[in-house]
């Protein structure tokens, strides 16, 4: 069983990485990577809200 607190911290770290990835993709004009990062961000936010 995964500790909810450690999972929450893990999700926050993943979310920060995904946001940075989306920001970098936006700067480069890479729509595909930006969309993938956006999907990951939505997934992580959903997972975070279910904890």
User: Domain residue spans in the chain?
Assistant: 11-49
Distances (CA, A) of 14 to 18, 20, 29: 6, 10, 22
Q: Give the C-alpha separation, 47 to 43, whole Å.
A: 6
Provide the Cα torsion 5, 39, 23, 45; round to 10°.
-30
Other C-beta atoms closer than 10 Å to the C-beta of 22 total: 20
Q: How confident is the model at residue 43 (pLDDT cuts 50, 70, 90)?
A: very high
Q: Give the C-alpha separation, 50 to 42, whole Å.
A: 13
* Model confidence pLDDT, tens digit, residues 7-30: 999 999 999 999 999 999 999 999
* pTM of the complete model: 0.86
């Amino acid at each position: 069983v995964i500790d909810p607190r450690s999972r929450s911290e893990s999700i926050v770290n993943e979310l920060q990485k995904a946001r940075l990835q989306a920001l970098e993709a936006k700067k480069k004009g890479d729509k595909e990577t930006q969309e993938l990062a956006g999907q990951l961000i939505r997934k992580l936010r959903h997972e975070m809200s279910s904890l």
